[in-house]
Amino acid sequence: MISSIDLKRIAGEENVLENEPMALHTTFGAGGPADLFITPENLDDLKAVLKALKASGTPFFILGRGSNLLVGDGGYRGAVITLRKNLNRVTVCGTTLTAEGGAMMPEVAHAALRAGLTGLEFASGIPGTIGGGLIMNAGAYGSELKDVVQKATVLTRAGDVLEMEPASLGLSYRHSALMGKECIVLSVTMGLSEGDPSEIKAKMDELNQRRRDKQPLEYGSAGSTFKRPAGYFAGALIEEAGLKGFSIGAAAVSEKHAGFVVNKGGATAGEILEVIRHTEKTVLENSGVQLELEVRLLGEF
């Protein structure tokens, strides 16, 4: 394991934290500490950090907003790297918008709005980074990133910077070819269309109101806990199994939308995972459908 002293020499004292609680960096609001938490200031620092981590054999994880992640109560033995603090710029040229990997999706959507560009309204309520969003091909209300992505710039584990076209990104429902490869999305370039700002804003407001009406935004969660099974809706299957409101400690199946497992305040990651596993088991027994977890699990449970 690399020492924090060595990492601070590379990335700067203020950009390396030790034993950082991951509950502060996930939308579930649960999870133990990461040994090291790194916020590189630029691409050169990021490359140097990765090189040092690999040379020392230190495991690492690339964190977006933590909006699709459950970290175990035992934390993560290794380094967590995030681009959110420094690598988050958004630029617009004509109808082309480019966002660095750490930019939040609502911020990217609002940058498009300010430029009078349509095509990202669906992203205005997704609480993740554009880098993390690309890796899972984030979407909502019938639209997804693959509808607008033109290319992405990616840093590989080997330290190479690649420019990837949509065909090589392999974007499909909640999936991309980048999943599980420990690549870092440096930027995403999207092709949008000119639109009326008032109409774009109205569409964003409509979608966000639908989100507020139907989703338990008052509690910590990772959004939809399970992927949509072919031919079914996860929330409906969970509700049919009588699980709406089922709880263990402060973790519960939302009474507002059964497709969400929520932290009602102070839930441990273990309690959240217990609710998830009980839900999977009960739905399988009730309907014969095996739910597939959309949330990623990390660290020691």
Q: Of 174, 176, 239, 274, which one is the catalytic site residue?
A: 174
Concatenating the DSSP letter of every residue in 253-282 gives: E-SS-TT-EEE-SS--HHHHHHHHHHHHHH
Dihedral of CA 185/186/189/195: which sign? positive
Q: Is 224 a catalytic residue?
A: yes
CA distance 219 to 198: 31
Q: Is 294 a catalytic residue?
A: yes
Instruction: Say what the pLDDT of residue 159 is.
Output: 87
Provide the residue-wise pLDDT of the chain in tens; the chain has 301 residues.
899 999 999 999 999 999 999 999 999 999 999 999 999 999 999 999 999 999 999 999 999 999 999 999 999 999 999 999 999 999 999 999 999 999 999 999 999 999 999 999 999 999 999 999 999 999 999 999 999 999 999 999 888 999 999 999 999 988 999 998 878 999 999 999 999 999 999 999 999 999 999 999 999 999 999 999 999 999 999 999 999 999 999 999 999 999 999 999 999 999 999 999 999 999 999 999 999 999 999 999 9
Q: Of 41, 107, 240, 294, which one is the catalytic site residue?
A: 294
Query: How far is C-alpha 44 from the chain's CA centre?
Result: 24
pTM for the model: 0.90
Residue 297: strand pairing partners: 70
User: Which tokens belong to 53?
Assistant: 């981590």
Q: Which domains can be identified in the chain, with CATH numbers?
A: 4-82 (3.30.43.10), 90-213 (3.30.465.10), 216-298 (3.90.78.10)
Q: Of 224, 239, 254, 280, which one is the catalytic site residue?
A: 224
Instruction: Say what the pLDDT of residue 180 is.
Output: 81
- Per-position b or e across 228-242, b if 16+ CB within 10 A of its CB: bbeeeebbebbbebe
Instruction: Say what the pLDDT of residue 176 is.
Output: 95
Alpha-helical segments (H) within the chain: 4-11, 43-56, 105-114, 130-135, 166-169, 197-214, 234-240, 269-287
Q: Is 239 a catalytic residue?
A: no
Instruction: Say what the pLDDT of residue 182 is.
Output: 77
The conformation of residue 301, written as its DSSP 8-state character, comes to -
For the chain, how many helices (H) and strands (E)? Answer: 8, 19
CA distance 269 to 229: 24
Concatenating the DSSP letter of every residue in 136-157 gives: TT-EETTEEGGGTEEEEEEE-T
CA distance 17 to 7: 10
Angle between helices 197-214 and 105-114 (to 10 degrees): 150
